[in-house]
Amino acid sequence: MSAPLLDVRHLSRRFDVSKPWLNRVIERIPRVHVRAVDDVSFEIAKGETFALVGESGSGKSTIARLIVGLLKPSDGEIIFDGKSLARGLKGAEARRLRRRFQMIFQDPFASLNPRWRVTEIVAEPLKVFNTHKSDRERRKRVGELLSLVGLSPEDGAKFPHQFSGGQRQRVAIARALAANPEFIVCDEPTSALDVSVQAQILNLMKDLQAEFGLTYVFISHNLSVVRHMANRIGVLYLGRLVEVAPSHDLFARPQHPYTRMLLDAVPDVEMTGRRRKKVEGEIPSPLNPPSGCAFNPRCPFANERCRIEVPALKPWRGQPVACHGIEEGRIPDGPAQPIASVTAP
Amino acid sequence: MAEPVLSVKNLTVQFPTRRGVLTAVDDISFDIMAGEVLGVVGESGAGKSMTGAAVIGLIEPPGRISGGEIRLKGERIDNIAPDAMRAIRGRRIGMIFQDPLTSLNPLYRISQQIIETIRTHLHVGEAEARKRAIKLLDDVGIPDAARRIDDYPHQFSGGMRQRVVIALALCAEPDLVIADEPTTALDVSVQAQIIDVMKELCRERNAAIMLVTHDMGVIAETADRVAVMYAGRLAEIGPVRDVIKNAFHPYTQGLMGSIPSLTTDLDRLLQIPGSMPRLSAIPKGCPFNPRCPKVFDRCRIERPDADPVAPDRRVACWLYPEVTPA
Ligand SMILES: Nc1ncnc2c1ncn2[C@@H]1O[C@H](COP(=O)(O)OP(=O)(O)OP(=O)(O)O)[C@@H](O)[C@H]1O
Ligand SMILES: Nc1ncnc2c1ncn2[C@@H]1O[C@H](COP(=O)(O)OP(=O)(O)OP(=O)(O)O)[C@@H](O)[C@H]1O
Ligand code: SF4
Ligand SMILES: [Mg+2]
Ligand SMILES: [Mg+2]
């Protein structure tokens, strides 16, 4: 394999959620940290779509914001095209590098300045990165970008509130594309949208990827969306990666007990007659995660070792899985997922 | 045939605005039988919540029911006094909303809230009410209910709170439960648990449930029949399996095709062009006609009603000739 475009190594991020100093002194309580992201490593090749899935609070957005530099890592490294982003990148070089990646957020409304016209919003990166110097050049480019995402150049004169949710997400995509990025981090880009609007945006994202060779990090809690979009998928549980696999394998042969549970929980919209297993237990509090494997209180295969020792991500049949049971060979291959055996009509 | 628990006939909900009257729910009819879950789907703004709000008499003015009737076990409830309606809400109609925190009072213990509701509606003593409350919490899957009943809402996780809300909605043993996006704010694993709880309780207690959601997956798992709404109108209604596997209305077909599959590899999703019209600009004829791949002349002029086209199936689309049930 050639060098990855993005190489995330042992990435961690803690948040201090302690009470104020005085309270801590009076109530004699220590500082409290949330390990939002804990020792996460993965690589993404050029042109690939790598997805991160996991339930609320598993650390998806934190990883996204670490990658695009909105947050600083507590530990670990992010290497983009051979250059470490976390350390000592300054001035022109940092700008050159930053220009090559962009981010799209879940809420297209919150991420667009409500007082700016769409033209100004989309033109902002052109100004910041100084790629299109005159007003006229910029306006022309904005028109092209709006057409590219299925809006019309005349829409540039409107304000964000004059658009529907799906159209606003198109504006956000146009802005993300303005700087000609190679790499786009998409954090739940369609979660706020209706399925029919979601279909339009997902199709658009795939078209743009094919046309410009874009690389995506695609974050979602929706497994069928992730399956549709991604080449490879990383599954997060309480800030740690528990399994990374090519999309098809993950759905055909999920290994980690959490991945199996997650797939089991997806409602069967196709009414294949697949019987759901009962989902056990609640997601534990990230403030007070279980010792050992964080999934152990909900895991049907947990034993003593699982309650003590944190499992590391180790290759199992070629794909990384963090599970003592899998490593020890005491977890049977899941019943071949019935959902994987159904063939296309 | 048994009498439906809920019967909605030609329900119309309108909002007078400065620029004219908007019709949010437009001439909708459906029934729900005891022990049955009717799913209501459709995209944002289709009128799902408004239909539910009309049934429980909670449409906020200036909105109002401007036509049709709503019957609960045969009795009209759309034109009764607010006091009478308040007595029905909570007692005969239970409600579950998306955000459990809006239904729970953060200042009171769970026990206080459930016991009070039970005692308001059923004539039982404190001790009996407490016994029932614990049983109910146990039924909805709160572990160690006898101890946790005295906790405050904030001591519960989101999924547990939603279970408490379900318990609260059921504690007066209502005939009908209106659940508006009860699982939308929850993670899939929690959502799966809540779906199971609701299904079991409905079967056990023979309650009728109107389940509003935009999630077809939830409908597929939970509902017996499904109503698909578009721009305030009923596009299609029928048994859930038939509608999902063999959608008639072009809008339902588009909706089903736009959901990414867990089993089939597709390069592109089916895409319905355009977006749902605003209430102030509903096109003439079939409201779906500007986006419909099968549109023909009649669709642009005449408005189709949801008429029977097959056993237990009604569709509002000119492609399907009406059949009069024998
Ligand atoms: N700025 C912050 N301060 C304190 N804690 C934070 C902060 N940002 C995130 N966290 C915590 O870090 C954990 C991971 O949060 P994150 O937003 O990354 O999760 P997520 O997977 O994106 O969840 P969701 O699906 O709900 O968006 C959570 O426990 C969250 O409460
Ligand atoms: N106070 C109001 N005045 C005018 N129109 C309103 C008012 N409240 C709601 N509407 C309109 O009524 C229509 C139906 O809204 P409703 O809340 O029933 O949609 P919904 O199908 O539940 O959508 P969602 O999936 O977003 O919850 C919408 O077009 C909405 O804009
Ligand atoms: S009535 Fe016409 S426009 Fe409406 S859904 Fe049917 S074919 Fe399409
Ligand atoms: Mg997030
Ligand atoms: Mg609603």
SS3 A53: strand
d(CA A344, CA A257): 27
Name the DSSP letter for residue A311: P
Does A17 sit in the ligand 1 pocket, CB within 6 Å? Answer: yes
Of B159, B214, B262, the CB nearest to A339: B262
Q: What is the 3-state secondary structure (H, E, C) of chain B?
A: CCCCCEEEEEEEEEEEECCEEEEEEEEEEEEECCCCEEEEECCCCCCHHHHHHHHCCCCCCCCEEEEEEEEECCEECCCCCHHHHHHHECCCEEEECCCHHHHCCCCCCHHHHHHHHHHHHCCCCHHHHHHHHHHHHHHCCCCCHHHHCCCCHHHCCHHHHHHHHHHHHHCCCCCEEEEECCCCCCCHHHHHHHHHHHHHHHHHHCCEEEEECCCHHHHHHHCCEEEEEECCEEEEEEEHHHHHHCCCCHHHHHHHHCCCCCCCCCCCCCCCCCCCCCHHHCCCCCCCHHHCCCCCHHHHCCCCCCEEEECCEEECCCCCCCCCCC
Tokens encoding B158? 């989101």
Task: Tell me the residue type at A33.
Answer: H
Rounded CA separation B206/B73 (Å): 13
Identify all chain A residues contacting B214, using CB atoms and an 8 Å cutoff. 194-195
Element containing residue A84 per DSSP (H, E): strand A83-84
* CA A304 from centre of chain: 32
And the tokens for B304? 């189709």
CA–CA distance, A248 with A242 (Å, rounded to integer): 17
Chain B CB within 8 Å of residue A144 CB: no
**Residue B132 falls within a domain, yes or no?**
no
Distance CA A306, CA A294 (A): 9
CATH topology of domain A6-100+181-253: Rossmann fold (3.40.50)
CA angle A64, A67, A68 (to 5 degrees): 90
Q: From CA A182, how far away is CA A187, in angstroms rounded?
A: 16
For residue B111, what are the CA distances in angstroms to B134, B145, B300?
8, 10, 57
Q: CA-to-CA distance for A82 and B44, rounded, in angstroms?
A: 44
- Please tell me the total number of residues recorded for chain B in this structure: 326
Q: Whose CA is nearest to atom 2 of ligand 1?
A: A15
Three-class secondary structure of residue A36 per DSSP: strand
Nearest by CB to B258, which of A198, A206, A270?
A198
Q: What is the 3-state secondary structure (H, E, C) of B220-253?
A: HHHCCEEEEEECCEEEEEEEHHHHHHCCCCHHHH
Distance, in angstroms, between B9 CA and closest chain A CA? 28
Q: State the ligand closest to the CA atom of B46.
A: 2
Of B188, B241, B259, the CB nearest to A195: B259
**B44 to chain A, minimum CA–CA distance in Å?**
7
User: Å from A308 to nearest chain B CA?
Assistant: 25
Instruction: Using DSSP, state whether A102 is helix, strand or coil.
Output: strand
- Bridge partners of B11, per DSSP, are B28
Of all atoms in ligand 3, which is nearest to the CA of residue B298?
2
* Tokens linked to A340: 């994987």
Distance A79 CA to ligand 2 centre (A): 47
Tokens of B68: 């049709």
| Domain total of chain B | 1
Q: How long, in residues, is chain A?
A: 345
Give yes or no for a contact between A46 and A182, defined as CB atoms under 8 angstroms apart. yes
B90-93, Cβ contacts within 8 angstroms, sequence gap of 24 or more = B90/B117, B90/B120, B90/B121, B90/B172, B90/B174, B91/B120, B91/B121, B91/B172, B91/B174, B92/B172, B92/B174, B92/B175, B92/B176, B93/B55, B93/B56, B93/B174, B93/B175, B93/B176, B93/B177, B93/B178
Instruction: Identify which of B294, B296, B305, B322 to mutate to test ligand 3's pocket (most ligand atoms within 8 A of the CB).
Output: B294
Q: Are B190 and A282 in contact (CB < 8 Å)?
A: yes
User: Do A203 and B259 make contact, defined as CB atoms within 8 angstroms?
Assistant: no
DSSP at A206? H
pLDDT recorded at residue B142: 84
3-state secondary structure of A9: strand
Determine the Cα angle at A198 with ends A197 and A204, to 5°.
95
Asked if the structure places residue B86 within a domain, the reply is yes
Ligand nearest to the backbone CA of B42: 2
Instruction: Say if the Cβ atoms of A271 and B244 lie within 8 Å.
Output: yes
Which of A55, A224, A228 faces B187 most closely, judged by CB atoms?
A55
Q: How far apart are CA B210 and CA B38, in angstroms?
A: 5
Element (H, E) at A51: strand A49-53
Residues of chain A whose pLDDT is less than 50? 336-345
Q: Which residues of B touch A (CB under 8 A)?
A: 43-44, 157, 159-160, 187-193, 195-196, 214-218, 220-221, 240-241, 244-245, 254-255, 257-272, 275
Residue B41's DSSP bridge partners are B228
- Whole-complex ipTM: 0.87
The CA-CA-CA angle for residues B218, B224, B225, to 5°, reads 95
Q: Which residues contact A228 (CB under 8 A, 6 or more apart)?
A: A202, B260, B261, B266, B269
Which ligand is located closest to the Cα atom of residue B230? 2
Output the domain CATH number for residue B216.
Answer: 3.40.50.300
Is B47 inside any structural domain?
yes
| Residues B326, B323: Cα–Cα separation, whole Å | 9
For residue B223, the CA-to-ligand 2 centroid distance in Å is 23
Residue of B nearest to A262 (CA): B189
User: Residue A340: its pLDDT value, please?
Assistant: 37
Hey, how many other C-beta atoms are within 10 angstroms of the C-beta on B287? 23
Nearest CB among A164, A228, A276 relative to B192 is that of A276
Q: What is the pLDDT of residue A275?
A: 67
Identify from B148, B163, B186, B189 which residue to disrupt to test chain A contact, counting A C-beta atoms within 10 A and taking the largest count.
B189
What's the pLDDT score for residue B209?
A: 95
Give CA–CA dist B174/A64, Å, rounded: 46
Q: Are strands B225-230 and B233-239 parallel, antiparallel or unpaired?
A: antiparallel
Residue B281 structure tokens: 């600009």
Whether A54 lines ligand 1, by a CB cut-off of 6 Å, is yes
Ligand 2: lining residues by beta carbon, under 6 Å: B 15, 22, 24, 42, 44-50, 63, 214, 279
User: A102 exposed, middle or buried (CB, 10 Å; 0-12, 13-18, 19+)?
Assistant: buried
Give the integer Cα–Cα distance in Å for A192 and A51.
18
Angle, alpha carbons B307-B309-B310 (nearest 5°):
135
Looking at the complex, does the CB of residue A35 fall below 8 Å from at least one CB of chain B?
no
User: Tokens representing A152?
Assistant: 């019309």
Question: 3-state SS of chain A: helix, strand, coil percent to 5?
Answer: 35, 20, 45
Q: What is the pLDDT of residue B325?
A: 62
**pLDDT tens per residue across all 326 residues of chain B:** 689 999 999 999 999 988 889 999 999 999 999 999 999 999 888 999 999 999 999 998 999 999 999 999 999 999 999 999 998 998 899 999 877 777 888 899 999 999 998 998 888 999 999 999 999 898 888 888 898 999 999 888 788 888 899 889 888 889 999 999 988 878 888 888 888 888 887 888 889 999 999 889 999 989 999 999 999 999 999 999 999 999 999 999 999 999 998 888 888 898 898 888 888 889 999 999 999 999 999 999 999 999 999 989 999 999 998 887 65
CA–CA gap between residue A135 and residue A123 (Å, rounded): 9
- Per the domain annotation, does B321 fall within a domain? no
- CB distance B13 to B47 below 8 Å: yes
Quote the pLDDT of residue A307. 96
pTM across the whole model: 0.90
